Amino acid sequence: MAREYFLARQHAPVQIDYARELNPQQLEAVQAPPGPALVIAGAGSGKTRTLTYRVAWLLEQGVAPSDILLLTFTNKAARQMLERVEALLPNRTIGLWGGTFHSIGNRILRAHAITAGYRPGFSILDREDQEKLLDAVIPEAGVNPAAIKEKRFPKGSVVADILSYAINTCRDLEEVLEERYPYFLPFTEEIATVRRIYNERKLAANVLDFDDLLEKPLRLLEREESIARHYQNQFRYILVDEYQDTNQLQADFIDILAGDHQNVMVVGDDAQSIYSWRGANFKNILQFPKRYPQAKVYKIETNYRSVPEVLTVANSAIAANAQQFEKQLRPARPSAGMKPALVPLTTANEQALFVAQRISELQHEGLSLNQMAVLYRAHFHSMEVQMELTRHGIPFVITSGLRFFEQAHIKDVAAFLKFALNPRDEVAFKRMAELLPGIGTGTAAKLWNALERETIHLQPGEPVDFEKLFLGQKVPAKAKKAWDQLAYTLQEIAPDGQGLPPSGMINSVVEAVYDDYLRAKYANYDSRRDDLNTLANFARQFEDTSEFLDQLALMSGLETEETGLDADQERVTLSSVHQAKGLEWKAVFIIGMCDGMFPSSRSMETDEDLEEERRLFYVAITRAEDQLYLTYPLLRSHSMYSGGDPVQRPSRFINEIPQDLLEVWHISGNPF
């Protein structure tokens, strides 16, 4: 005779003393009743802790793990939260769905591949494969071959960025081009054709790219009511981390999964919404109460990171923004007895010297280099600081990218100057030649061999007629126009073998040869162009190009040497503010606090952009635990000066802070 036996999971009584583990504001959010909830968690207030305990609370209330969906922006964040829940409630998280929007989208598509229009077992293109496929499609899209040959049409990497931004913001392609890539507007029709063929090729190959993992699940749920209902019934509780960084696709994805139950809790900080440039929609968090009229708003305002003096400045800095949820960060830590420092300096070089000297002093006072950071609005603002730290022998690491002189576009332009002064420089020639359309490694090698035969008898310092030397060479047809232009440019910048002043040489190379390549190659053209402008302006202090190139080589050599330091060796962090979000240090230097630098000149055109820039400043301030230094140069130095008024105005953000909250440091001495 058969026997029926029923299994039922027995839950232990509540194990966690939530009232002891959490402050009152955190506790209220963690124990929120079902329904939509917006948790405004200020900087350093324990956002991750709140989410972790919210998951634990739901589990202890008898909610099945499979009924919970945790959406994050990184796999690391999801893993950390789940590991912390597991530590609180061992063996209770099995079956819980936690991960990035893309990973959850992938799981849904895998389960419904055929319905979504794909065959089971589809593969996912990584970024490199995506760019290769786009590069292969471009010639098939009816693009004028001359535009491709002359590198005026964007490469696959740039097209990928254009299409991605349009998808994630749910905006028309032409609108995106007009706003972000106006120099590609003449190719709107061709880019649209590239998109169509690219999508057809993906479908035929049964592959998806990264953006498809967001868009395709959303469209599937919108189209297939039964599938949408399945996941709405499964995910009875949805939790979203860093909601202020969501784009339109992600917000719509959350909305459709929330269905009728609307048990969705989003956690974020509107004051830290700083990623509109990559598609994040600030209005998502601001308008959450309108999207969910029954939503309850919780505020977590106790800051455990910074001393009161820093928090007071942060609260004051963000107060000028009209679009925000009002809140006041309150310190949990006692006073440090030191106000944030406002340090006016004469030039960017003097600013760099102050930063290096103060870092050395703090190190001697017992502060680890790992506990200090230099933050800036744009990468090129850090050039003088990089040089000064190198001179002082202070190790540093850059989280915002390569060291200034090691960036590809800097080394590209330097190669032109090196070859103009030394036509025997094989490495410089090949790097320069391979930037031209139709010239790869093999062709560059052949051209070098031909040129070498004609220059081998040159005496040191003997001038070269570049037009005569280059125009007589046989090059691929698609390279002819660019090759001829290169010859004319080299002749122009080094007519006597000595070269013009380095600043003029850089400007000529960029305008005549390199700019088109830069536009087509890099989606962040504007920032790289700013770097090259900075390089040209920095070069103004050198009359002799050889001396300038020597300086670049020495800096690069020292930087390369530093990368070989032991992994355990202390280093100061240099970072853009965007890259610094989520991090913290004992002492923080925010440099370049001038109008046009921070806020950036581009951000001052609209109130909306200026408010995002102010939020960025707020993020920078709240990275500091104990000490904060705000510095700015009064005069434009060589690296920032391009004509016009050399006098700089302090950032309007500084002027918005009551001066009694800052301590002005008056710099004396004559270091130069």
- Which residues are marked as active site? 47-48, 241-242, 272, 623
**What is the C-alpha separation between 624 and 609, in angstroms, rounded?**
24
Angle of helix 248-258 relative to helix 225-234, nearest 10 degrees, comes to 80
**What is the C-alpha separation between 551 and 548, in angstroms, rounded?**
5
> Both tokens of residue 633?
């140069």
**What is the C-alpha separation between 106 and 124, in angstroms, rounded?**
9
Strand pairing category for 585-590 and 123-124 = unpaired
Cβ(582)–Cβ(41) below 8 Å: no
Residue type, 306: S
Rg, Å, the chain Cα set: 28
Residue type, 165: Y
**What is the C-alpha separation between 213 and 33, in angstroms, rounded?**
32
> Both tokens of residue 191?
């880019």
Angle at the Cα of 224 from the Cα atoms of 223 and 230, rounded to 5 degrees:
140
Provide the residue count of the chain: 672
Q: Which residue matches tokens 């800051």? A: 303
**What is the C-alpha separation between 70 and 240, in angstroms, rounded?**
6
Residue type, 326: E
Q: Count the neighbouring beta carbons within 10 Å of the beta carbon of residue 454.
A: 14
Angle at the Cα of 408 from the Cα atoms of 484 and 453, rounded to 5 degrees:
40
**What is the C-alpha separation between 21 and 540, in angstroms, rounded?**
59
Collapsed DSSP state (helix, strand, coil) of residue 398: strand
DSSP secondary structure, 574-622, as one string: EEEHHHHTT--EEEEEE---BTBBTTBGGGGGSHHHHHHHHHHHHHHHT
**What is the C-alpha separation between 325 and 144, in angstroms, rounded?**
51
Cβ(300)–Cβ(45) below 8 Å: yes
Find the DSSP H helices in 301-440.
Answer: 308-318, 348-364, 383-392, 408-421, 426-433
